[in-house]
Amino acid sequence: MRKMKSTIQRSFSNFFFEYETPRQVLVRNRRVAVVCRIIQLGVLSYIIGWVFMYEKGYQTVDTAISSVFTKMKGVSYTNISEVARIWDVADYVFPEQGDSSFVVMTNYISTVGQKQGTCPELPDGKNKCTSDADCDEGKYKRHMTGKCVTNTSTCEIFSWCPVEDDRRIPDPPILQTAENYTLFIKNSITFRQFNVVRSNLVESVDQNYIGRCLYHPKTDPLCPIFRLGDIVERSGFNFSDIARVGGAIGVLIDWDCDLDLSIRHCKPKYEFYGLYGTGKNDKVEKPSLGYNFRFAKYYVEDNEEKRTLMKVFGVRIGIIVHGRAGKFDIIPTFTAIGSGVGIFGVATVVCDLLLLYLLPKRDFYKSMKFKHTEVQDVEPTLPPSQKEKELPKVTYLSTADR
């Protein structure tokens, strides 16, 4: 009992008062040493220079949650068949409440005064009929009455009548002046992990500046007011083209913040690129160009429900926020150091391979590095001057070389 206690005590004191460190061989060989030092310096400079300085491996990273509000401004004047008309923001933005994704109407085909009834299909070449027999009732795409209208050579259908005639898209686009509209973007981001809230109206963007600025990548990179024509051109489109048939544009607000610095340096960058369509990122023409949608304004006239159907072509803008902030944190720092030390181990392995397998004196170095515990079989295939001659080692070692 006493014995055991003292054993435990001694183990315990051994553990606390003894410290083990690996025994090393110092190999005095210039070739190996220089190669190894270079490898080690390479690893070290990789860890410090790349992982720590460039990639900021000592930082923990959070992505932003964000909220976007948009507001268009501008007025267009059109004069179609002697009918003048003004278009303001309530007329040309969909939806109206300032979402992060919205459409600015730049062209349209309107069909005024549609009501439920029967009328012939559009004679666009695909719907020809010569007799009533060609007009099957109950087809899914259109609801046919079974009659072929001789006038247009198309089937009669039950539909909102008259049917929309979208064979010709107005050219030039009706609202070509949409180019001069301005877009105001408000963006708020939150880095939950760091408890940081930030708006794209940063310190230098005050009320006065907003009143007179217009975004320009060089001179006004922080102004949150954008000219629609600029957005379109910076994303690689031609305004006349996109205004005529429509198109989609992504506006990227990119936040890349180093929160180890002052929060004032956390600023947004704006980027513009074309989506789906003829934008700069698409080298080849993609199947589905253009952008349009239909909507209807309903009204009651003479106790009948009518509607004005609008086929709207426009610039669809999607605002995408990409926020990323880094801040010093102990965990990624230690993980990076730990991995670095691991890679140092790889460097040692490479040097050892060099030392033990490639150098002329490799057998000598082997004998320096390794100690054997057991008598080995007699191995006549190796020269007697080397490692395998170590027959009497065991007893020798067990007494002397500990």
Q: Which of residues 197-226 bind a copy of itself (CB under 8 A)?
A: 197, 199, 201, 205-207, 209-210
Q: Distance from first CA to last CA of the chain, Å, rounded?
A: 31
Q: For residues 312 and 94, is the Cβ–Cβ distance under 8 A?
A: yes
Q: Which of residues 192, 216, 265, 269 is near a copy of itself by CB under 8 A?
A: 192
Q: For residues 239 and 284, is the Cβ–Cβ distance under 8 A?
A: no
Please identify, using beta-carbon distances, which residue of 129 and 201 lies nearer to a copy of itself. 201
CA pair distance 112, 124, nearest whole angstrom:
20
Q: Which segments within 192-291 are labelled E, that is strand?
A: 196-199, 225-227, 247-258, 268-275
Q: Establish if 341 lies at the interface with a copy of itself (CB under 8 A).
A: yes
Cβ contacts of 225 within 8 Å, gap of 6 or more = 182, 183, 184, 210, 213, 214, 215
CA pair distance 230, 92, nearest whole angstrom:
18
Q: Which of residues 381, 384, 391, 395 is near a copy of itself by CB under 8 A?
A: 381
Among candidate residues 375, 247, 266, the one with its CA nearest the CA of residue 323: 266
Least distance between a copy of itself and beta carbon 123 (Å): 19
**What 3 state SS string does 290-348 have?**
CCEEEEEEEEEECCEEEEEEEEEEEEEEEEEEEEEEEEECHHHHHHHHHHHHHHHHHHH
Among candidate residues 147, 170, 174, 171, the one with its CA nearest the CA of residue 158: 147
The mark string for 141-170 relative to a copy of itself (x by CB under 8 A, - otherwise) is xxx--------------xxx----------
Q: Which of residues 299, 304, 358, 383 is near a copy of itself by CB under 8 A?
A: 299
The mark string for 108-127 relative to a copy of itself (x by CB under 8 A, - otherwise) is --------x-----------
Least distance between a copy of itself and beta carbon 397 (Å): 7
Q: For residues 277 and 247, is the Cβ–Cβ distance under 8 A?
A: yes
Least distance between a copy of itself and beta carbon 217 (Å): 17
Q: Establish if 75 lies at the interface with a copy of itself (CB under 8 A).
A: yes
Q: Establish if 241 lies at the interface with a copy of itself (CB under 8 A).
A: no
Least distance between a copy of itself and beta carbon 6 (Å): 7
Q: Establish if 137 lies at the interface with a copy of itself (CB under 8 A).
A: no
Nearest 5°: the CA angle 315, 267, 74 is 30
Q: Establish if 291 lies at the interface with a copy of itself (CB under 8 A).
A: yes
* From 125-133, 146-154, 235-243, 283-291, span contacting a copy of itself (CB under 8 A): 283-291
Q: Tell me the site size for a copy of itself, rule CB under 8 A.
A: 150
Least distance between a copy of itself and beta carbon 62 (Å): 11
Tokens read off for 173: 């686009």
Cβ contacts of 378 within 8 Å, gap of 6 or more = 388, 391
The mark string for 7-46 relative to a copy of itself (x by CB under 8 A, - otherwise) is x--x----xxxxxxxxxxxxxxxx-xxx-xx--------x
Least distance between a copy of itself and beta carbon 112 (Å): 9
Please identify, using beta-carbon distances, which residue of 50 and 328 lies nearer to a copy of itself. 50
Q: Establish if 263 lies at the interface with a copy of itself (CB under 8 A).
A: no
Residue in the structure block whose two tokens are 């000592």: 58
Please identify, using beta-carbon distances, which residue of 150 and 294 lies nearer to a copy of itself. 294
Least distance between a copy of itself and beta carbon 215 (Å): 15
Q: Establish if 350 lies at the interface with a copy of itself (CB under 8 A).
A: no
Tokens read off for 234: 């910076």
